[in-house]
Amino acid sequence: MSNHLIIAPIVLPLLVAALQLLIGERRRRTVVLLSIASCIALVGVAVALLLAASQQGSEATMTAVYRIGDWPARFGIVLVLDRLSALMVLLTAVLALAILPYALAPWRHRGGHFQPLLQFLLMGLNGAFLTGDLFNLFVFFEVLLAASYGLALQGSGARRVSAGLHYIAVNLTASMLFLLGVSLIFGVTGTLNMAALAELIPIVPERTRALLHAGAALLGVAFLIKTAMWPLGFWLPRTYAASTPAVAAMFALMTKVGIYVLLRLSLLLFGDSAGTASRHFGSDWMLWGGVATVATGIVGMLGARDLGKLAGYNVVISAGTLLGAVGLHQPAVTAGALAYLVISTLGIAAFFLVAGLLASDGDEETDDTLNLEPYDPGGDDSKSDALFAAEDESRVVISAPVAMLGLSFFACAILLAGLPPLSGFLAKFALLAPMLDAAPRLGARVLFTLIIVAGLSTVIALCRAGIQIFWAEPERPFAQVRLSEIGSILILLGLCLLLTVVVEGPLRYLGDAARQIHASAGYIHGVLPVAEVAP
């Protein structure tokens, strides 16, 4: 494999986006073709990278390193490819390719420059997954955030702009915290290379260790804001519910970037080999923060009044679950968490798309999400009588697109709740089973219980929504569904189905990935060749 392939996921979207901007919005067909070609190429590159990463030897002391400008790792910026980053790059590319058909359908509220912004977002995401340098990570975060601001505002309207305003303000503040954390860490250690940092942290003098921890904590807060940990995540459901479905589906990956960085940095910098003073620094915070986040997500989901918010709180629950799992620092749990990350990203993305299709019949200018009726356990008798009467009079004929939507909704619900037989169950099982075995900590038990409760409340919330949408109002006019729109959903759900059948290979890969990131020495020696390692 040519080593230059590692930088392709960053350079390719950048070039395509620049070209698309030059071509301009007028020649839409060319722009769209470029996007499709770029996404297909990205999937190809990501698969090649994944295969290359999976051949890195079973114990994985090797990591493929790309030195930008061929500067030695200590001075220059490196891109690092290991199993985890290859997995994330592949997930990004697949998700982008899957939502493209949906985004091609003409929207009611069109926004400008969707395709170039999407490419810039891909560039930022891939860069954040591949980089091995903290400041470079900041730059890629800003690239992906700037693109996401544009995407969140797609379609305009007062509700979107107001939600976007909050989103941007929160993220700008988080970026400031990011910079403060990075500069504190640089001040203490004199390097921003992640591998060099991991090597230096055990031997940092005691009097500056507190400063280092403060810097790491600030950095952590910046990522936790992106991950939407309670109480830093109140911006998320509103923003996601307000964005257009295709964008919200892509944003399902955005919280996972925060999770990825937390996973990578906490294991690399504060893993088992970080010395007694810094070992597992912050892991309790992540564990209990994850617990609180899952709890918030449950409450929010049960109270959600429209499908967009419901999906948003699902993102919160999955982020909290992952955060807690990262905080446990167990290789087996991490492997399960990676499986859950993949499935929940695909499932939530599909759910956002389904929600968008179900809601797209509204005529209001600004409020085009589907509102659910307030929950009323006593029931409104007159209403239900009318309902039965209506049902008796006219036999409900289910048309093919509605049946398709219903099935997709059902599949999403099963995936998100983690019920058998779909892959959501397998992923949740892979996450929960080792959690009981290996972790006698109180937090692990609380998290375990809450994840089960979250599954139950997902079932309740989605049942309620599904009954109201598909059964209770037979005369609800469904919007016309285009083949390309349902195609996107089918791709995403099909992938989840595929992962239900083909389990062993991916799970083995994820287990290897988890072992690889838990063995931080492999990463350090991969990035810094032995000759360069300080005595």
Partner 1 sequence: MELVLAAAIGVLVASGVWLLLRPRTFQVIIGLTLISYAVNLFIFSIGGLRTGADPVLHEVAGDIGQYTDPLPQALVLTAIVIGFATTALFLVVLLASRGLTGNDHVDGEDGTP
Residue 177 C-beta: closest distance to partner 1, Å? 9
Residue 238 C-beta: closest distance to partner 1, Å? 11
Residue (32 or 180) nearer to partner 1, CB: 180
Query: How many Cβ atoms are within 10 Å of 460's Cβ, its own excluded?
Result: 15
Residue (221 or 414) nearer to partner 1, CB: 221
φ, ψ at 160 (rounded to 5°): -65, -45
Angle at CA of residue 338, ends 505 and 437, nearest 5°: 90
Can you tell me the distance from the alpha carbon of 399 to that of 420, in angstroms, rounded to the nearest whole number?
Answer: 28
Does residue number 222 form part of the binding site for partner 1 (CB under 8 A)?
no
Residue (61 or 183) nearer to partner 1, CB: 183
Structure tokens at 71: 């500067």
**Backbone conformation region of residue 282, classed left if phi is above 0, alpha if psi is from -120 to 50, else beta:** left
Can you tell me the distance from the alpha carbon of 498 to that of 415, in angstroms, rounded to the nearest whole number?
Answer: 13
Does residue number 62 form part of the binding site for partner 1 (CB under 8 A)?
no
- Select from 216, 50, 239, 69 the least CA-distant residue to 163: 239
Q: Considering only 44-52, 186-194, 227-235, 373-381, which stretch makes contact with partner 1 by CB under 8 A?
A: 186-194
SS3 sequence, 271-299?
CCCCCCCCCCCCHHHHHHHHHHHHHHHHH
Q: Is 527 exposed, middle or buried (0-12, 13-18, 19+ CB in 10 A)?
A: buried
Residue (41 or 180) nearer to partner 1, CB: 180
Residue 167 C-beta: closest distance to partner 1, Å? 9
How many helices (H) and strands (E) would you count in the chain? 21, 2
Stretch 125-164 residues interacting with partner 1 (CB under 8 A) = 135, 139, 142, 145-146, 149, 153, 156-158, 161-162, 164
Does residue number 195 form part of the binding site for partner 1 (CB under 8 A)?
no
CA torsion 309-314-316-318 (nearest 10°) is -170
Q: Which of 24, 187, 202, 529 binds partner 1 (CB under 8 A)?
A: 187
Helix residue ranges per DSSP H, 105-133: 114-130
Q: What is the DSSP letter of 4?
A: G
Residue 219 C-beta: closest distance to partner 1, Å? 13
Residue (367 or 433) nearer to partner 1, CB: 367
Residue (306 or 485) nearer to partner 1, CB: 306
Could you tell me how many residues of this chain bind partner 1 (CB under 8 A)?
A: 30
Residue 533 C-beta: closest distance to partner 1, Å? 21
**Backbone conformation region of residue 70, classed left if phi is above 0, alpha if psi is from -120 to 50, else beta:** left
Does residue number 18 form part of the binding site for partner 1 (CB under 8 A)?
no
Residue (111 or 300) nearer to partner 1, CB: 111
Stretch 163-182 residues interacting with partner 1 (CB under 8 A) = 164-166, 168-169, 172-173, 175-176, 179-180, 182
Residue (47 or 139) nearer to partner 1, CB: 139
**H/E stretch holding 445:** helix 442-466
Are 239 and 152 a contacting pair, CB within 8 Å? yes
Q: Which of 186, 429, 448, 478 binds partner 1 (CB under 8 A)?
A: 186
Are 406 and 470 a contacting pair, CB within 8 Å? yes
Residue 158 C-beta: closest distance to partner 1, Å? 4
Residue (177 or 325) nearer to partner 1, CB: 177
State the residues that interact with partner 1 by CB under 8 A. Answer: 135, 139, 142, 145-146, 149, 153, 156-158, 161-162, 164-166, 168-169, 172-173, 175-176, 179-180, 182-184, 186-187, 190, 192
